[in-house]
Amino acid sequence: MSPRKHYSIALTGRAPLDLGGRTLVMGIINVTPDSFADAGRRFDPARAIDDGLLMIADGADILDVGGESTRPGAEPVDAGEELRRVLPVVEALARDGRVPVSIDTYKAAVAREAVASGATIVNDVSGLQYDTDLAPVVSGAGAALVLMHNRGRSSEMYRGAVYEDVACEVGRELEAAIARATRGGIPRDRLILDPGFGFAKRAEHTWESLARLDRLVELDRPILVGPSRKSFLTAATGERSPVERDWATAGAVAACVLAGAHIVRVHAVREMVDVVRVADRIRLRA
Which residues belong to the active site?
A: 230, 265
Quote the CA–CA distance of 25 and 116 in Å, as a whole number: 24
Q: How far is CA 164 from CA 153, 154, 201, in A?
A: 21, 22, 12
Q: What is the largest CA-CA distance in the chain?
A: 49
CB 276 within 8 A of CB 264: yes
Q: Which residues contact 5 (CB under 8 A, 6 or more apart)?
A: 20, 217, 220, 222
Q: Which residues of 108-141 are buried (b: 16+ CB within 10 A; e: fewer)?
A: bbbbbbbbebbbbbbbbbbbbbbbeebbebbbeb
